[in-house]
Amino acid sequence: MDSIVIIGAGAAGSVVAKKAVMNRGVFKKIHLASRTLSKCEKVQKETNGAVSISQVDADDSKQVIKLIEAQKPDLVINMALPYQDLAIMDACLATRVHYLDTANYEPKDVAKFEYRWQWAYQERFQKAGIMAVLGCGFDPGMTNIYCAYAQEKLFDEINFIDIVDCNAGDHGKSFATNFNPEINIREVTQRGKYWKEGKWIEIDPLSISKMIDYPGVGPKKSYLIYHEEEESLVKNIKGLKQIRFWMTFSDNYIKHLDVLQSVGMTRIDPIMYNGMEIIPLQFLKALLPEPSSLAENYTGKTSIGCIFQGKKNGKPVSCFIYNVCDHAETNREVGAQAVSYTTGVPALTGAMMMLKGIWKGQGVFNVEQLPPVPFLEEVAKQGLPWHTQQLDSGAQRDLLAA
């Protein structure tokens, strides 16, 4: 297998396409499709024509089926919006082609993401003899694989997981989001929750915060939010008692978000304006900078990983597995800021695992169900080295005291 179709030519999708071109020994045929053809044309030009392109509306499974039938790929890499996951999965089922994405399905009319819609495809993908790999970005994605590696190699039992995500970069804009603004704002403004002792505990949005010491960055205020990988990790990590997800937001980001919420600009229900029906959040998205436009002047680093507490040989053990990524370095390599890079490179690496037959199976899989070691070896070569730090009793005191 050596042929891929990438759907979505935004910031992260462009990274997948460019990194695939850098790995032509694995990816012999690369096709990039998007609703906006000009985005594909830009990537095609930047890769000196190494990528073929076309236009597709990924909301329409019939169009995606025609695309797959025309290109005959071994794998479809879905880098489009989460709203479009099911339409693309339907097209893969109809054409019996493998599928990989980076974010789980989310309906347009409710800010609620969960895996049940995609997990429901399990039997159909099994019967079709094809594989769907879900959530192969960074978080979800790398964070899940860190958990699988910790479970396989470092612990006999993992009891507590804190997934921690810091972007300490500066793009120089008064307000912008590092990935699709609509998805980003929906994610942040919904109610938070975490899993403890067998049940989900809900909290008000951004109502709990802790100081977390991020490698390569230092201590940063971090907020407890809900993130999709928690749902699958609760199922697949043995002995788990608690899992939480923390993310940093600058005071400036919080200030702007508060104002936008208070005036109704983050609403996802339609309103009438001058005789036309519009959705305020989609209008706001059109006003904000494209995430791909942030790369040129972006400085600073991302620091993302998992903090584990558990037991090995009957003794308590705590460790931190993480990656630090520099915005300026990723821009020099592929013309992308680090948030796009850390999403695109794991997707590219997951595709390599599937094409090489290292990740194989029939049905629907979250990445922590697949072999972590070969993935981690390859993703480090592709630009995302990972590190393991043993934690002493005083490390991450504020976080682990909760």
What are phi and psi for residue 143, nearest 5 degrees?
-60, -40
Please report whether residue 246 resides in a domain: yes
Q: What is the DSSP letter of 320?
A: E
Q: Which of 102, 134, 166 is the last residue of a domain?
A: 134
Do residue 125 and residue 200 come from a single domain? no
Residues 6+ apart with CB under 8 A from 368: 144, 145, 147, 148, 232, 233, 236, 237
Do residue 154 and residue 40 come from a single domain? no
Phi-psi region of 371 (alpha: psi -120 to 50; beta: other; left: phi over 0): beta
Q: Is the pTM of this model over 0.75?
A: yes
The answer to whether 188 and 257 have CB atoms below 8 angstroms apart is yes
Q: What is the pLDDT of residues 248-284, one digit of tens each?
A: 987 777 777 777 877 787 887 888 888 888 888 888 8
244: helix, coil or strand?
strand
Give CA–CA dist 103/118, Å, rounded.
11
- Strands 75-78 and 3-7, by their bridges, are parallel
The answer to whether 148 and 372 have CB atoms below 8 angstroms apart is yes
């001058």: which residue's tokens?
274
Please report which confidence band the pLDDT of residue 178 belongs to, taking 50, 70 and 90 as the band edges.
low
Q: Which of 79, 109, 134 is the last residue of a domain?
A: 134
Do residue 121 and residue 215 come from a single domain? no
Do residue 201 and residue 121 come from a single domain? no
Do residue 90 and residue 183 come from a single domain? no
Please report whether residue 376 resides in a domain: no
For residue 173, pLDDT over 80 is answered with no
Do residue 238 and residue 279 come from a single domain? yes
CA-closest candidate to residue 17, choices 60, 58, 48: 48
Torsion of CA 8, 9, 12, 15, to 10 degrees: 130
Do residue 72 and residue 112 come from a single domain? yes
For residue 299, pLDDT over 70 is answered with yes
Please report whether residue 366 resides in a domain: no
Q: What is the pLDDT of residues 69-92, one digit of tens each?
A: 999 999 999 999 998 999 999 999
Find the CATH number of the domain harbouring 55: 3.40.50.720
Please report which confidence band the pLDDT of residue 244 belongs to, taking 50, 70 and 90 as the band edges.
very high
Please report whether residue 226 resides in a domain: yes
Q: What pLDDT does 397 receive?
A: 67
Find the CATH number of the domain harbouring 193: 3.30.360.10
Which tokens go with 60? 């329409």
Count: domains in the chain: 2
Do residue 148 and residue 175 come from a single domain? yes
Please report whether residue 358 resides in a domain: no
Query: What percent of the chain has a predicted confidence (pLDDT) above 90?
Result: 76
Q: What pLDDT does 145 receive?
A: 98
Please report whether residue 350 resides in a domain: no
Do residue 316 and residue 178 come from a single domain? yes
Give CA–CA dist 167/164, Å, rounded.
10
Q: What pLDDT does 222 receive?
A: 96
Domain that holds residue 118: 3-134
